[in-house]
Amino acid sequence: MPLHPTHPALADDYTPPPLIQAYRGRRPSTASGADYTPVWFMRQAGRSLPEYRELRVGTDMLDTCLNPELASEITLQPVRRHGVDAGIFFSDIVIPVKLAGVGVSIVAGRGPVLEHPVRTAADVAALPPLDPGALAPIREAVALTVAQLGATPLIGFAGAPYTLASYLVEGGPSKEQLKTRALMHSDPAAWESLLTWCADITGAFLTAQIEAGASAGQLFDSWAGSLSLADYTERVAPFSARALDPVRGLGVPLVHFGVGTGELLAAMRGIGVDAVGVDWRLPLDEAARRVGPGFTLQGNIDPALLQAPWRVLEAHIDDVLRRGRAARAHVVNLGHGVPPDTDPAVLTRIVEHVHAHA
């Protein structure tokens, strides 16, 4: 499907907003229409906001994600409150898994839990295809959101195939993905089939968001930090590239982010993206050296410092901005998601500070 006729990029008077310009490699300047570095936060929509907690009372997480009105409202909340330069579509990494008909639920205090883990070739073969019609609530939620965002762009959200596969194999969250990495090596054929399935449902999920109005897309690989460079390059990266193949012709910039992936950054850029997200562990100037020219960097304020005195956090933000100048362009973000106990006023103050320092 092509972009929906109401997609912002198709408007006669469309001017790429600062975030989109940065993803495409343009630094802030008056001539480009943006005189500040854009900023948004991973997990900016969620538990740190009192309005989110109030809205979620009595509602299951995955049901919330699949309710277009609720998902749209939650996506919009941090844009209204903080003045960030983008909304990030409110969803969960396992939503496409659920939409495909696989039994999964969110367990309080643990996260996504699968009814039946996928650990054999037969388990992989039994995974159902994703019916495109199941994506209707996603398209509707995106359309509702974009209609209210105005000039602020929406970023599409999708989990990378390796992270999806990890949840499926482990049966839930895992720190080291031991069963997942064991399957990767012990049954390469089953692994390829599993990653292909994950890539295809991720690609369909992200494509639905872009077509319905999202102006960029980000692929999250939450667990890729458990991989060696060889395993990532040979057994994971090709499937991340496959997940993005359906959206490449839609003309929107693409971002790839992983946690603990400092040693993988050069390989991550190779899946065909415009920007690479960097977690808090690696200074952005060193990340720029590893990624090389021609790529925008995103990051990488340490989430732990959101709890520090402002003078400490302010100095850290200024250091991030300074080091970010080593890249062709920079989008300020955290090095991971907003912690649930973050004071929302701190996030608003960060946005104001970044916008005041071009």
Going from N- to C-terminal start, the domains of the chain cover 8-355
* pLDDT band at residue 357 under the 50/70/90 scheme: confident
Rounded CA separation 163/221 (Å): 6
The predicted structure's pLDDT at residue 77: 98
Q: pLDDT digits over 222-260, tens only?
A: 999 999 999 999 999 999 999 999 999 999 999 999 999
Dist CA 175 CA 38 (whole Å): 32
**Taking 70 as the threshold, does the pLDDT of residue 186 lie above it?**
yes
The CATH topology of domain 8-355 is TIM Barrel (3.20.20)
* Model confidence at 31: pLDDT above 70: no
Among 352, 339, 332, 282, CA closest to 306: 339
Which DSSP string corresponds to 233-259?
HHHTHHHHHHHHGGGGGGT--EEEEET
Q: pLDDT value at position 4?
A: 86
Average model confidence (pLDDT) across the chain: 95
119, pLDDT greater than 50: yes
- Would you place residue 33 in the very low, low, confident or very high pLDDT band (cuts 50, 70, 90)? low
Q: Alpha-carbon distance 171 to 111, whole Å? A: 10
| pLDDT at 30 (0 to 100) | 46
Mean pLDDT of 39-65: 95
Token match 């993803």: residue?
Answer: 23
The C-alpha atoms of residue 181 and residue 165 are separated, in whole angstroms, by 10
Average pLDDT over residues 93-121: 94
CA–CA distance, 15 with 142 (Å, rounded to integer) = 20
Task: Give the model's confidence band at 318: pLDDT under 50 very low, under 70 low, under 90 confident, else very high.
Answer: very high
Angle between helices 237-244 and 188-212 (to 10 degrees): 30
Cβ atoms 195, 163 nearer than 8 A: no
- The arithmetic mean of pLDDT across residues 148-164, rounded, is 97
Known catalytic residues? 43, 47, 56, 92, 167
Tell me: pLDDT of 32 over 80: no
User: Residue 108: its pLDDT value, please?
Assistant: 82
Find residue 332's DSSP bridge partners: 39
Residue 358 scores a pLDDT above 80? no
Q: How confident is the model at residue 34 (pLDDT cuts 50, 70, 90)?
A: low
Please name which of 106, 227, 248 lies closest in space to residue 161, comparing C-alpha atoms.
227
* Cα Rg, the chain, nearest whole Å: 19
Higher pLDDT: 332 or 33? It is 332
What are residue 334's DSSP bridge partners?
Answer: 301
The first and second tokens of residue 129, run together, are 């295809």
Mean pLDDT of 89-94: 96
Q: Is the pLDDT of residue 1 over 80?
A: no
Q: What would the pLDDT profile of 125-151 be if each residue is shown by its tens digit?
A: 999 999 999 999 999 999 999 999 999
